[in-house]
Structure 1
Amino acid sequence: MIVKTFGSAIHGVNALTITIEVNVSTRGNKLFMVGLPDNAVKESERRIESAISYLGLRMPRTRTVVNMAPADIRKAGAAYDLPIAICILAAAGYIPHNELSSCLIMGELSLDGTVLPLKGVLSMTLQGVAEGFSAFILPLSNAPEASLVNQLPILGVQSLKEAIQHFQKTTRIQPYHSPSQFNSTSAIKEQLDFLDVKGQSATKRALEIAAAGGHNAILIGPPGAGKTMLARRLPTILPPLTLQETLETTKIHSVAGKLQSTSALISQRPFRSPHHSISDTALVGGGGIPQPGEISLAHNGVLFLDELPEFKRKALEVLRQPLEERRVTISRARMAIDFPASFMLLASMNPCPCGYFGHPVRSCTCPPGQVQKYINRISGPLLDRIDLHVEVTPVTFSELSSRQLSDSSEVIRKRVMAAREIQANRYSRYEGIYCNAQLPVQFLKEMNQFDAQCLSMLSKAMERLQLSARAYDRILKVSRTIADLEGNETVLASHMAEAIQYRSLDRDIWKR
């Protein structure tokens, strides 16, 4: 007798439907598993046999063939235990099989039949909706995540016994309903706030511009100037995630197994801060079974690289393509997988090895040529892709002791959201463009208005600083964002001048 049901396989951050077929014949006494299973799938025979025996039932002792199609896609992991076990029991006559062909079933089994949680459930659910399945049977602990889709009945089970009773119709499982609803305007209590930052008005202004246009930025300053403190507050002024961004971000973290058990929905923009010893594979993604790296986990959020020159050069250089294309492609002999990587890069660094080059009080102790050598740890092509180079100066005693309050994160966020709304309206007819940083070069002059004095000023800056064509484009985008923050349709000379002064690492003062 042949019984069929369906499972799911993760391919990048998306899911593919897998057909699972079981044929129990009257001859032979061995179980065969075909369809390119890996070792974890092959070992499922022992887990399934133990779980079935624990319930007082018996595995078929005749020839049993388990086929997983399509056969050219490798099946990995233990999540196929539950659908295979259900199919075997149906083929053996323990449960009816009439409902199985319309269900999506996934779950790992322990030896006593307990169903263990999975990775990538949100992607599987979205694919299940697209395929038109009638229900998704999965571990109960994954039900809150799957229920975010709201278009597919989610049947959470804690054990193989519950799944059997559901199909036998002795105890039907009720669809899981999430108690929480997504609300993009819901207030989130921030633990960090720009209100706590004393002084640093110029740096806060630069970070506001970066947030308003989605620009990359690097903070350069001596130790203790507040670079890391300011960087960690950047997510508090970014616009809230939309529903689409929330689902995209949650899907990536689900595939990577990074979702918190207490919450199925990522409601705040990610802030990823990997250590400088990270490998290039961990940064961009990869592995035998490709997994998202830090740049994909920072999708729709911020990737913060503290002490940028201390990172391995090889790891930094792999950021070039994702910064331009906002995705990363992991190529293997059998497959090529795209992971989304639309993130804001925020970096920080000391100006020299001792950290005090350009300090208003302390003297730099680095020998001649050491400052330039230190800056050169970061390649020119990578620096070209960073829109704002911001010099962070130490805070004075009078600023630290001042009782004057600066703008809070909530106030700054309102200005950022107003600028983002202007950009969203401007680029509404272009798919995938929501802010100035995402605007392709070919649309840059078409979509923006610059007065005559702006281009003359930029021409002089290009000649004096010997800027590249990419830096030229970045300056135009930053000046457009500054104009949006002020509500101006036309980019003025003052906006252009401010954008040019954020190219500080291109100046001769660092060639020492």
Structure 2
Amino acid sequence: MALARAWSVALIGIEGRPVEIEADIGAGLPGTKLVGLPDAGLREAKDRVRAAVRNSGQRWPDSSVTLGLSPANLPKVGSGYDLGIAVAVLAASGAVPATKLLGTVLLGELALDGRVRPVRGVLPALLAARKSGYRRAVVAVESLFEGALVAGIEVAGAARLDEVIAWLRDEEPLTPPEAPDPVAPAAVPDLADVVGQPEARWALEVAAAGGHHLLMTGPPGVGKTMLATRLPGLLPQLSDEDALEVTAVHSVDGTLEPTSPLMRVPPFVAPHHSISMAALVGGGSGLAMPGAISKAHRGVLFLDEAAELGSERLESLRTVLEDGEVRIARARGVVRYPASFQLVLATNPCPCAPPRETECSCTPAARRRYQARLSGPLLDRVDLRVRMRPMTAMGAHEVSSIESTAEVRERVVAARERAAKRWSGRGWQTNAEVPGPALRREFALPARVTRLLDRSLDRGAITARGADRCLRIAWTLADLAEADVPDADHVAAALEFRDRRAA
């Protein structure tokens, strides 16, 4: 009777848990049993691994083989355990020494001919392995570009199972990761391409400077989509910590590009209005996969034709906008994905959406029904609302004074630096992250400054949540104006952005 162990990593969302793979070879009829809460894809691993071992020139044990995955109550999903299972069986049978397995995690799917295929989620798996104290990791060579992003753990790649076997026998080294080539900054659309719409351009700058959500209402063709696609170019590059978190989400989703492994530019996600609930929020069979809102983490989620999305999908965003993460409950557990993004909504004022409002053929009731698709609770969480007008012949020629993305970005970055410095002791980076109680107590403004805001609250023009968001906008306006604290004009301008007539 022989027993050997190897280690891999299970992913629940983007959180990894080390998994111990035990292989026991005992007396009995030939057969392989796999225990430890595997899913349907993992239950097929024993057949894949057996064929891969035989096609790599090794002998599969002609007796009873029991494979145990621990912790046994943790759901195991996917084919990333194949390499660990194969190595554990070979070590238990004495085909390879087990000296290098201690402190090593193995991640890879095996083809029937012994090739090691890449799997999703290598980056978060290696981050979890490093946190748990593992010193080495063996992955597919195609996953080395992800492994190179994780410092503090030795990562090596293998193209075939026999390469891993030779490495365990100290016969041949594995492929080390290459230093990533410097990646040129991604090209972003220029704000100078958008002609006119000064109010919307200013709202976009305020949204970028404070991390605020934005609603743009206007007829087709006025530039709502053009402005939204230019918002990522105004945002600063992601910090090292945020870049790793964003990259981890895309690694789990399988959309990470080998040419630019570490995502430095804030992502821009613009799903079609026919997107399903699972594709928007996250879901799927077994443990849920990340949705569009998680792919937009630390970036921009743009919902064009927002009124066409349907109330169920729109209302699902309400809790996410407050919490900054999405929690998806399944029978096998709860999966958490980060979802801290800037929401940009674009909608038409009515169903017929003519170029000019005077040409509208909708009845007042039809307009109200259409606008009511964006519910009050959702709009209350949107900081900035701007009404966009059709382009005029005169405005089309006012191109000499239009600012470029680089010019506006300088002001945005300076404003963000002022905010980050102010909130640094409390862990907040942008004004949009500051809780309302902190704005009302620790950073309370004088009564003469908030007088207009107080009157709006008394009249019921805004809610308490809306008042907090007005204060956040006022601080952003002060940062853009290089003022130490907001004044009454900044509060009044913030209230204008909350004008319900812009919705």
Maintained 8 Å contact 2:145/2:258: no
What is the RMSD of the two structures over their aligned residues, measured on CA atoms?
A: 1.8
- Residue 23 of structure 1 and its aligned partner are, at CA, apart by 1.1
For residues 432-484 of structure 1, give each alpha carbon's deviation from its aligned partner in whole angstroms, at most 9, with x where no partner exists: x2111111111012343534433211133335562111111111111111011
Gaps spanning 5+ residues in structure 2: where? Answer: none
Q: 2:464 pairs with 451, 456, 469, which one?
A: 469
The corresponding residue for 1:47 is 48
Matched letter for residue 339 of structure 1: Y
Q: Secondary structure at the match of 1:428?
A: helix
Instruction: From the superposition, tell whether residues 464 and 363 of structure 1 become closer, same or farther in structure 2 (CA, over 3 Å).
Output: farther
Q: Secondary structure at the match of 2:359?
A: coil
1:360-439 equivalences under 5 Å are: 362-431=358-427, 433-439=428-434
1:160-179 equivalences under 5 Å are: 160-179=161-180
Matched letter for residue 187 of structure 2: E
- Residue 28 of structure 1 and its aligned partner are, at CA, apart by 2.9
Maintained 8 Å contact 1:156/1:173: yes
2:26 is the alignment partner of 1:25: yes
Task: Provide the C-alpha distance between the structure 1 equivalents of 2:226 and 2:45, rounded to a whole number of angstroms.
Answer: 49
For residues 327-377 of structure 1, give each alpha carbon's deviation from its aligned partner in whole angstroms, at most 9, with x where no partner exists: 1111223322221111000000011111149x36x4211113222111111
Task: Provide the C-alpha distance between the structure 2 equivalents of 1:187 and 1:210, rounded to a whole number of angstroms.
Answer: 26
Task: Provide the C-alpha distance between the structure 1 equivalents of 2:389 and 2:364, rounded to a whole number of angstroms.
Answer: 23
The corresponding residue for 1:325 is 323
- Residue 261 of structure 1 and its aligned partner are, at CA, apart by 3.5
For residues 46-85 of structure 1, give each alpha carbon's deviation from its aligned partner in whole angstroms, at most 9, with x where no partner exists: 2112112222322101111111100001111111111111
Maintained 8 Å contact 1:448/1:490: no
Q: How many residues align?
A: 501
The corresponding residue for 1:308 is 306
Q: Secondary structure at the match of 1:337?
A: strand
The corresponding residue for 1:213 is 210
The corresponding residue for 2:134 is 133
- Residue 408 of structure 1 and its aligned partner are, at CA, apart by 1.2
Task: Provide the C-alpha distance between the structure 2 equivalents of 1:496 and 1:124, rounded to a whole number of angstroms.
Answer: 46
Task: Provide the C-alpha distance between the structure 2 equivalents of 1:329 and 1:39, rounded to a whole number of angstroms.
Answer: 24
Q: Percent identity?
A: 39
2:271 is the alignment partner of 1:271: no
**TM-score scaled by length of structure 1:** 0.94
Task: Provide the C-alpha distance between the structure 1 equivalents of 2:467 and 2:45, rounded to a whole number of angstroms.
Answer: 58
Maintained 8 Å contact 1:200/1:392: yes
2:496 is the alignment partner of 1:501: yes
Matched letter for residue 157 of structure 1: A
Q: Secondary structure at the match of 1:444?
A: helix
The corresponding residue for 1:159 is 160
Gaps spanning 5+ residues in structure 1: where? Answer: none
Matched letter for residue 425 of structure 2: R
Instruction: From the superposition, tell whether residues 112 and 10 of structure 1 become closer, same or farther in structure 2 (CA, over 3 Å).
Output: same
Maintained 8 Å contact 1:451/1:493: no
For residues 286-315 of structure 1, give each alpha carbon's deviation from its aligned partner in whole angstroms, at most 9, with x where no partner exists: 233211111111110000000111002101
2:230 is the alignment partner of 1:233: yes
Maintained 8 Å contact 1:451/1:491: no
Matched letter for residue 378 of structure 1: L
Maintained 8 Å contact 1:116/1:139: yes
The corresponding residue for 1:142 is 143
The corresponding residue for 1:352 is 350
2:254 is the alignment partner of 1:257: yes
**TM-score scaled by length of structure 2:** 0.96
Task: Provide the C-alpha distance between the structure 2 equivalents of 1:89 and 1:112, rounded to a whole number of angstroms.
Answer: 16
Instruction: From the superposition, tell whether residues 460 and 363 of structure 1 become closer, same or farther in structure 2 (CA, over 3 Å).
Output: farther
Maintained 8 Å contact 1:15/1:127: yes
Maintained 8 Å contact 2:352/2:361: yes
- Residue 382 of structure 1 and its aligned partner are, at CA, apart by 0.2
Instruction: From the superposition, tell whether residues 191 and 342 of structure 1 become closer, same or farther in structure 2 (CA, over 3 Å).
Output: closer
Task: Provide the C-alpha distance between the structure 2 equivalents of 1:78 and 1:232, rounded to a whole number of angstroms.
Answer: 37
2:443 is the alignment partner of 1:448: yes
Task: Provide the C-alpha distance between the structure 2 equivalents of 1:144 and 1:323, rounded to a whole number of angstroms.
Answer: 33
Matched letter for residue 384 of structure 2: L
Maintained 8 Å contact 1:449/1:489: no
Q: 2:280 pairs with 278, 283, 286, which one?
A: 283
